[in-house]
Structure 1
Amino acid sequence: MAVPTPIIPELDDVVRGGDARRQADIIRKLSDLFAQGAAHFQPRHVELFDGILIGLVPLVEIDARVRLAEQIAPIPNAPPSLVGLLVHEDEIAISGPLLRSSPLVDEPTLIEIAGAKGQGHLFAISERATLSPPVTDVIVRRGDRDVIRSVAGNSGAQFSTTGYSGLLTRASDDGVLALAIGKRHDITQMQLKELLEHSADIVRRRLFDMASPAKKVAINQAMIGIGSAPSRGARDFARAQREILTLSMAEELNEAALMAFAKEHKYEETVATLSVMTGVSLSIIDHLIRGDRHDPILIMGKSLGLQWATVRALIIVRIGPGKPNPSIPEMEEARMNYERLVPATAQRVLKFWQKRPAEAHAEV
């Protein structure tokens, strides 16, 4: 197919002495012409456009270069030298479209730019339809929070063992990132276990709620693995966790289930249920309930909107079977304190507990 040439005679004059407006107009006409006929152009035609546009691009303002980059970014046979020039621009409005979608930007170029440019360039790269492990290794090493979240949520990104390890490390204090990683199809069972082990219980619960049936099974297995190795001197909550997960999957984990566990003095099941319902780490719930005061139970009950009868059963299960229940005056004082407790205050304390590390000794 021949290239139409009505605008070509203007080029020499424009390049030698044309003003910026005329130069930008020529670039616009050329880029429109190329975009319309790109599918039919032969390599020699592409080479012609490449040579002409390369000569004009340095002469025009940013707006003209932005438009040109956006126009040629998705074209498979775009002028290669022009793509190479624009993709290295510091101005992200110019380089961004090419970094995000141009099929002509190869892996070495992506690695080079990811290692040298700023977070805007890294973010644009993170949105490409596919990314190889060498590229994501650089992104994980240099990216800020938004970049890491973006690449973790990109189903077309592939990660090396080192890259995945970096994602998991960053996810230990970023719940949004943990959820993005947990939803990935390429996460291994070992990586899922590591992710859950270092995530807050509220993140675990949200991930479970959003998971597909197959992923729910994987999460269940990972949680069992975490619970099957209790810390020294701690209770073994593995069996309780299995039962709680089963109830949660059946949408039967509610106040009635909590009350039943407490009445039957099933301590581990009671603690595991409270952990899921409050979003507080299981180990912190265990520490709070085993304390000398009723206050933590009152606070959890008020934050969840539990009936006094359920809260009373929790107080009794805290004391343990075979031990004398609290005296009537002591229980009445607890009831009055529960009635006086303001829900907003209880919620503030609960949020504090939710943010505590699992290994920390919780305090009221």
Structure 2
Amino acid sequence: MLNSLVDLAKESCSDKRRELLGQVSALFIADADRYTSEEMTLFTGVLKKLINDAETQDKAKLSARLAHVDETPNDLALELASDDAAIAKYMLQYSNSLTRDDLILLARSKGQDHLLAISKRDHLESRLTDILLERGEQPVRRSIADNPGAELSEWGMRLLMKLAGSDAPLRESMTHRADLSAEHFEKLISLLPEDQGESVRKMHAQNSQLVEKILHDAGKAVAGGSLERRRSRLDAKVALKDIRSGKTSLNEVFLAYSLSRNLFDLAFILAEVSGLDQKYVTNVMIRYEIDGIAVLCRALSIGTSEFNMFCKARGAHLKLSKNAIDNWMRDYQLLSEEEAQRVLRFIKVRLKMAEAA
């Protein structure tokens, strides 16, 4: 491998340089969590030099790959995030290597496409959200309203509530937010047709009930050891790393752990991928009701056949009949991925609010 990289480095044609960039980045990603500081410095220097000579599409591919690698050096992440929007958008939306100050600087200085990418991050502090709302045009403001991970200051909430009066898509997004006060929620409902308002009210109540189920006895469920780790050659941390590097898919790992009936480690993997605390994932996994774990799995794009195998493992753990498993599968097939992702975002915000209370 090393000799081939050295040979590629001597080449001047764009195809060979592209191949070198791909191989160096793959080598970095494969063991990013193991390199010493000296090795990281070496990789950073090589990648930054290659980036200078790379074409836009190649830099965009690199940005998309490194955006999901937490070990990506800050200066490399910031360089990509400061580039053209087609390259920067991946870093701006996904990278944990960018600091709060980096994001604030970029939000204050970059154009609308960059702001839109930042607005889609899983979590935005209210200070950053305010800058996006102040500088952003309609697409950015709609994106903020639709992002439950975007914290809103009092000013930000007032602005979005005002805009909701004349912007139907933004108004609909606001009705699904979990951080609305009762007063704001009722004001939004009053702006909707009666039948739509009742539908939103019912859905909001159902989501709130689901949050209560997830919270209920979550700590006790884990402490009681209701799920036991089975002896298995499957290493959950290695599997998680392979998922994040793209070496394998979540569906493949999900199926393997379901077949081995290793629900304990599967709960760990689902928690890590979804960003939920493992105690909440474990709680919904061992409850008879399917709604909580179904929402999580559908939101993570778990396939029907994979979920069916999981239901069999779950049914065996809970000592339930085939009829129960069939009912779970019917419910899962009725749940859309878009709806599940919306509910999961609602749940995350409510859980965060409950933990902070």
Give the TM-score of the pair, scaled to structure 1: 0.52
CA deviation profile, 1:134-181 (whole Å, cap 9, x unmatched): 111122223333322222222221111111111111111122222221
CA distance in 1, matches of 2:207, 2:61: 45
Matches within 5 A, 1:210-221: 210-212=203-205
Change (3 A) 1:5 1:80: farther
Match of 1:183 among 176, 180, 185: 176
Matches within 5 A, 1:64-213: 64-90=58-84, 92-196=85-189, 199-202=191-194, 204-212=197-205
Q: Which of these two proteins has the greater Rg computed from alpha carbons?
A: 1
Conservation of the 8 A alpha-carbon contact between 1:54 and 1:81: no
Q: Which ranges of structure 1 fall in alignment gaps of 5 or more residues? A: 217-364
CA distance in 2, matches of 1:145, 1:210: 27
CA deviation profile, 1:118-139 (whole Å, cap 9, x unmatched): 3222221122111110111122
CA deviation profile, 1:87-128 (whole Å, cap 9, x unmatched): 0012x2211111111001111221222223232222211221
Conservation of the 8 A alpha-carbon contact between 1:133 and 1:160: yes
CA distance in 2, matches of 1:119, 1:207: 31
CA distance in 1, matches of 2:167, 2:117: 21
CA distance in 1, matches of 2:169, 2:97: 32
CA deviation profile, 1:7-47 (whole Å, cap 9, x unmatched): 45347634xxx122222221111011111111222222111
Conservation of the 8 A alpha-carbon contact between 1:140 and 1:163: yes
Change (3 A) 1:121 1:214: closer
User: Aligned partner of 2:147: which letter?
Assistant: N
Match of 1:5 among 2, 17, 25: 2
Q: Which ranges of structure 2 fall in alignment gaps of 5 or more residues? A: 210-357
User: Aligned partner of 2:29: which letter?
Assistant: A
Report what 2:333 is aligned to: none
Report what 2:270 is aligned to: none
Match of 2:46 among 52, 68, 75: 52
CA distance in 1, matches of 2:82, 2:207: 43
Residue correspondences, number: 208
Report what 1:19 is aligned to: 13
Matches within 5 A, 1:296-307: none
CA distance in 2, matches of 1:148, 1:46: 38
Change (3 A) 1:142 1:207: farther
Conservation of the 8 A alpha-carbon contact between 1:179 and 1:207: no
Report the alpha carbon displacement of residue 205 of structure 1 after superposing the two structures with TM.
4.1
- Quick one: percent identity of the two aligned structures? 26
Conservation of the 8 A alpha-carbon contact between 2:67 and 2:90: yes
CA distance in 2, matches of 1:193, 1:209: 13
Change (3 A) 1:51 1:7: farther
CA distance in 1, matches of 2:141, 2:197: 20
* Secondary structure class of the residue paired with 2:177: coil
User: Aligned partner of 1:13: which letter?
Assistant: K
Change (3 A) 1:158 1:70: same
Conservation of the 8 A alpha-carbon contact between 2:9 and 2:17: no
CA distance in 1, matches of 2:24, 2:142: 38
Q: Is 1:41 the counterpart of 2:35 in the alignment?
A: yes
Cα-Cα RMSD: 2.4
CA deviation profile, 1:287-314 (whole Å, cap 9, x unmatched): xxxxxxxxxxxxxxxxxxxxxxxxxxxx
